[in-house]
Amino acid sequence: MPWMFPTVMKNLFRGPATRRYPYKKREPFEEARGKVSWDMVKCDLCHDCERICPVGAIVVDEEMKTVTYDPFLCVYCSKCAESCFHGCIIVSLNYCEPAYEKSVDVFEKKEVPVEIT
Amino acid sequence: MAKVVVPFGPQHPVLPEPVHLTLVLEDDVVLQAIPAIGYCHRGIEKLAEKKPFQQVPFLVERICGICNFMHAMAFCQAVEKLVGVEVPPRAKFLRVIWAELNRVRSHLLWLGLLADAIGFESIFMQFWKIRESVIDLIEESTGARIIFSTNIVGGLRRDISGELLTKIDRVLKQIRPEIEELGHVLLNDYSIKQRAVGKGVLSKEDAHKLGAVGPTARGSGLNVDVRTTGYAAYDEVAFEPTVETAGDCYARTLVRYRETLQSMDMIHEAIVKIPSGEIAGVFEKWPEGEAFELVEQPRGEVFYYVKGNGTINLERLRVRTPTFSNIPPLLHMLVGCHMEDVPIITLSIDPCISCTER
């Protein structure tokens, strides 16, 4: 037990190693893999992300012109964002927050507004 | 004296995962231990046959959270043999760095769990505090705390920048004296020695005969370490397997403690030697034929067998994990020990049941 003494003394004056979490949050790292979202102006509903997703968390519906994303099924590998040819998948740095009920995110296709001159 | 049957597990304070041992006791001494597994079988091997092989690395990582990088690495190395792709040297070195970071994280977790099983809560907290800084390094380099998801067939998805490599080296240098200080306490403490020295002895012959792997085998004096075969870039990073001869719980603790420090040295050497260049090779065919791969995980060697038939789906994936090989030696160690030593002996093989059952 005496060998522990220096560590004990150090810890006595060092303060807590943990953060006061809800009040003080750590900034996410630069390349963290978090929730993904779609820029539906760029998206052309090509099914690439749906095919590449290892868990099938993405469903592209061409008739309804929607992309359905299930953040509770997603494993946050961000493979979809890498594979997207148009670069329309945006990876946020924050992970999916806990929720009482599972839900899906639905993104609807937006047409590019035509500029009238 | 009548025989008494005591169930141990599947829910027990020292076991993070469910394994059941039926202990046949006579006057507090274990006569026989009968294992029962099957509490967390998920059918991953079958699921791997249903998915395109490029998606399987993300699946096999989920076999075990603690050694996930080595699972994906073993799978990718096996499939790389089938598709005939050359992995670039930088990717090989990055695999070594991440694999050793994974080992450091796993061993620090285990050293904490050992202290926790004995009841030494403060050491447990201290080890896990150090582990947190290793996890931060992993998160900064891969993007996630636990599951790396960086391996793909042909190489890696992510590179580590030069500044980050320097930071990894610097942080590991900072935490090294802390680990040594705690290791000194853990290894010299009177009560820990009382609980660990001479408990669960496995002789060298028995370890060989029963097929022990990893730190369990090295704690018994067997010099087995798959890293010496030189997969990835291990042939360019100098290291000597850590071997202890006593074969008891204390020897296995010593092996894991020394391996933690050794892994840090290996990361330093890999960072110094890492070449620049590409991180993923390109392949143009689908896997055909059979291949197997051995990789040293924190718990021992993992065996991957892959069979492809020229289509996008694999025909068969077989995984033999280190804990599966270490269960027969565990049953041998338990015979003749006292009931109160069963938890610590079970913990000393570092059981990972979700690996075993897949």
Q: A75, B143: Cβ pair inside 8 Å?
A: no
pLDDT at A40 > cutoff 80: yes
Give the pLDDT score at B340. 85
- Give all domains of chain A, ordered by start, each with its CATH number: 29-108 (3.30.70.3270)
For chain A, give the mean pLDDT: 84
Residue numbers in A near B122 (CB within 8 A): 4
Q: A7, B182: Cβ pair inside 8 Å?
A: yes
Confidence of residue A117 (pLDDT cuts 50, 70, 90): low
Give the pLDDT score at B260. 92
CA B299, CA B349: separation in Å to the nearest integer?
8
Give the pLDDT score at A114. 67
- B151-152 and B3-8 beta bridge pairing: unpaired
| Helix (H), strand (E), coil (C) string for chain B | CCEEEEEECCCCCCCCCCCEEEEEEECCEEEEEEEECCCCCCCHHHHHHHCECCCHHHHHHHHCCCCHHHHHHHHHHHHHHHHCCCCCHHHHHHHHHHHHHHHHHHHHHHHHHHHHHHCCHHHHHHHHHHHHHHHHHHHHHHCCCCCCCCEECCEECCCCCHHHHHHHHHHHHHHHHHHHHHHHHHHHCHHHHHHHCCCCCCCHHHHHHCCCCHHHHHHCCCCCCHHHHCCCCHHHCCCCCCCCCCCCHHHHHHHHHHHHHHHHHHHHHHHHHCCCCCCECCCCCCCEEEEEEEEEECCEEEEEEEEEECCCEEEEEEEECHHHHHHHHHHHHHCCCEHHHHHHHHHHCCCCHHHHHC
Closest CA in chain B for residue A75? B58
Residues of chain A with pLDDT > 90, as a percent, come to 0
Residue numbers in A near B151 (CB within 8 A): none
Q: A4, B185: Cβ pair inside 8 Å?
A: yes
Any A CB within 8 A of B181 CB: yes
> Virtual CA dihedral for B299, B300, B301, B304, nearest 10 degrees?
-20
Q: A31, B147: Cβ pair inside 8 Å?
A: no
Confidence of residue B305 (pLDDT cuts 50, 70, 90): very high
Rounded to two decimals, the pTM is 0.89
Q: B185, A76: Cβ pair inside 8 Å?
A: no
Residue numbers in B near A79 (CB within 8 A): 58
Give A66-91 pLDDT, tens digit per residue.
889 988 888 888 888 888 888 888 88
Q: B158, A31: Cβ pair inside 8 Å?
A: yes
What number is the average pLDDT over the span B230-235? 84
Domain ranges (residues) in chain B: 41-357
Give A49-69 pLDDT, tens digit per residue.
888 898 888 998 888 888 899
Residue numbers in B near A75 (CB within 8 A): 58, 62, 147, 149
Given CATH 3.30.200.20, say whether it is the number of domain B41-357.
no
Give the pLDDT score at B108. 92
pLDDT at A1 > cutoff 70: no
Give B165-212 pLDDT, tens digit per residue.
999 999 999 999 989 888 888 888 888 888 888 888 888 898 899 989
Give B3-56 pLDDT, tens digit per residue.
888 888 788 777 777 888 888 988 888 888 898 888 888 889 899 888 888 889
Residue numbers in B near A6 (CB within 8 A): 181
User: Residue A7: which of B126, B139, B149 has the nearest Cβ?
Assistant: B126
Residue numbers in B near A78 (CB within 8 A): 143
Any A CB within 8 A of B167 CB: no
